[in-house]
A and B are shown apart, each in its own frame.
Chain A
Amino acid sequence: MKEELFVSGRNIPNIDPYLNIWHWQIPLYLFLGGLAAGILFFAGYYTVRGKADKMQTTVKWAPIIAPIALVLGLFALFLDLKHKLYFWQLYTTIRLESPMGWGAWTLMIITPISFIWVASYMKELVPGWNWKFSILEKFEAFVIKYRVALAWVMMIYSIILGVYTGILLSAFNARPLWNTSILGPLFLVSGFSTGLATIIWISKDAKERKVLSRIDLVFIIIEIFLIVHLFMGFLAGSQTAIEAANMFLGGPFTVSFWVFVVILGLVFPAVLETLELWGYHVPKWLPPVMILVGGFMFRFIMVEAGQITRYLY
């Protein structure tokens, strides 16, 4: 048996007895970032495929949520900073080694793109919309002319944004629960799934909802596979990784993770969506709400639990 004590009375706020330096702001941002990435990706995808008219909600209406989500997410990130007035230092440096640096620059690119995308559809969404300045009219015409190119850029950046929300955590070697490269694809898939859920929720077109539900089902199944792989990887890993997994397999996060994230956030909505595809009546809002709540819980639990895991010496 080994017992280690701080005999000099160390009790630093947010560090001891276990690390808790990132609170609700980071998981909220990871959730909103993934959601925006999902919405923008599918808006771009159906534009590139030339199906903008069949998928009206996906391409034209849902993207309105993306810039709002990104701005709220950025605000959450700002709230997380402890030295707030120096936040601009993020944009005077380019550090390729720093995941957070990557994230800051990705957001700097994709947030304006999402605004431009929504703006280019303003005249269709709001009848009688007038940009008032000729330069804005010219810019709109330019964007509409090259919309497919913009859709490609948007798709690529939404993938980077979705993966980055996972990489932000997985780059920390010191936190065994996060330090797995599966986190990148897992957060990407989960983010895309929450984005799809949002579109399904607001879409009034039954055909469009059916197409999106099918894709969402595939994403949910991939996500469940990735979660199983995550734990298989941990259990085959070092002592620190096994202890990280045990927090979810009998430890303090067992119930919250398996009940709220996996069962209520993935399995139930998948079953409900399948029933809906088979023709049974399911409340339209129910599966999307479950997916969104599950997605948020997933990020919240991962951030909270990851900070508790550490190297033992």
Chain B
Amino acid sequence: MRYAMAIDTKKCVGCGDCVVACQTENNVPHGYCRDWIVESVDGTYPSLSLEFRSERCNHCDNSPCVRCCPTGASHVEEGGIVTVTHDKCIGCGACIESCPYDARYSHPEGYVDKCTFCLHRVQKGQQPACVKVCPTKCLHFGDLDDPNSDVSLAIKDRKWKVLAPEAGTDPQLYFLT
């Protein structure tokens, strides 16, 4: 099993619903966020192109944050989901330094926090909160090993990219372009 997410940049309008849904679902402290939206403008006027990306932890296959953790608090759950065990984390910040996507932050209570692909929901067979609320249905979540899953079907016939593949982390967010 390999959980992954596909983000359709042609459908995303950057409304920010996924960000609010995540903050509500996961009780993210005020001023912090586990997912965020990047608006990327490329080119010179008048030939401009616009891309919206709903970004979060890439749940990398080769995750540097798990490798550098001195206590094993950062670990890989079933399906490749990278999470942090709060009472094993000492808050040293090594994983924050190691992430090329700056997807982790130091929670005000001390431990390091990040996107969990809503593991608690996924285990119940539900979709992550961000995917569930997306009004344009531009987020697709599922098991890459299952050819009929939402995410497999989404990336099947579309061009896609991953962010900073040169960092060598084998990220699992697929941006449909």
A residues engaging B (CB < 8 A)? 1-16, 19, 21-22, 80-84, 86-87, 89-90, 92-93, 95, 97-101, 104, 171-175, 238, 307, 310-313
Which one of B67, B100, B164 lies within 8 Å of A98 (CB-CB)?
A: B67
Task: Check if B89 is an interface residue, CB within 8 A of chain A.
Answer: yes
- Chain A contact surface mostly: loop
Contact B36 A80 (CB under 8 A): no
**Do A81 and B92 touch (CB < 8 A)?**
yes
* 22 interchain pairs, CB-CB under 8 A: A1-B42, A4-B40, A7-B39, A7-B52, A8-B36, A13-B31, A15-B96, A81-B90, A82-B92, A84-B90, A86-B89, A97-B68, A98-B68, A99-B68, A99-B94, A101-B71, A172-B98, A173-B64, A174-B99, A310-B100, A312-B164, A313-B163
* Cα of A171 to Cα of B93 in the assembled complex, Å: 14
Q: Is there contact, CB below 8 Å, between B40 and A3? A: yes
A83 touches B110 (CB 8 A): yes
For residue A212, give the distance in angstroms from its CB to the closest CB of chain B: 35
B106-A174 in contact (CB<8A):
no
> In the complex, A8 Cα to B109 Cα: how many Å?
24
| Chain B min CB distance to A270 (Å) | 33
CB pair B99 A90 closer than 8 Å:
no
Q: Is the CB of B92 within 8 A of A80?
A: yes
B166 contacts chain A at the CB level, 8 A cutoff: yes
Complex CA gap A80/B42 in Å reads 39
Distance between A260 CB and nearest chain B CB, rounded to angstroms: 24
- Nearest neighbor of A13 in chain B, beta-carbon distance: B31
Q: Are A7 and B102 in contact (CB under 8 A)?
A: no
Question: In the complex, A99→B111 CA distance in Å?
Answer: 19
A8 touches B72 (CB 8 A): no
Of B44, B72, B97, B100, the contact of A22 (CB 8 Å cutoff): B97
**Band of interface residues on B:** 35 or more
Which of chain A's residues have a CB closer than 8 A to the CB of B109?
Answer: 83
Check if B73 sits within 8 Å of A89, measured CB to CB.
yes
The digit string for B154-177, where 1 denotes a CB below 8 A from any CB of A, is 000000000110111100000000
Give the nearest-CB partner of A11 in chain B: B31
The reply to whether B93 and A173 form a contact with Cβ atoms under 8 Å apart is no
The answer to whether A93 touches B71, judged by C-beta atoms less than 8 angstroms apart, is: yes
A98 to B73, CA, bound (A): 12
Our pick among A5, A81, A172 for the contact of B64 (Cβ within 8 Å) is A172
Among all A-B residue pairs, the 7 with the closest Cβ atoms: A82-B91, A83-B91, A83-B110, A101-B70, A174-B100, A100-B70, A10-B36
Residues in B with CB closer than 8 Å to A21 are 93, 96-97, 106
Q: B90 and A86: CB pair below 8 A?
A: yes
CB closest residue in chain A, given B54? A8
B19 lies within 8 A of chain A by Cβ: yes
The CB with the most chain A CB atoms within 10 A, among B98, B102, B164, B168, is that of B102
Does B88 interact with chain A (Cβ within 8 Å)? yes
* Chain B residues with CB below 8 A from A95, complex form: 69-72
Instruction: Kindly supply a per-residue 1/0 record for chain B positions 93-127, scoring 1 wherever the CB is within 8 Å of any chain A CB and 0 otherwise.
Output: 11011111010011001111000000000000000
The docked-state distance in angstroms from the alpha carbon of A12 to that of B33 is 7
Which residue of A is nearest B64, CB measured?
A173
> B46 near A: Cβ within 8 Å?
no
Q: Which residues of B contact A311 (CB under 8 A)?
A: 100, 164, 166-167
Task: Write the nearest CB–CB distance from A150 to chain B, whole angstroms.
Answer: 28
Chain A residue with Cβ nearest B72: A93
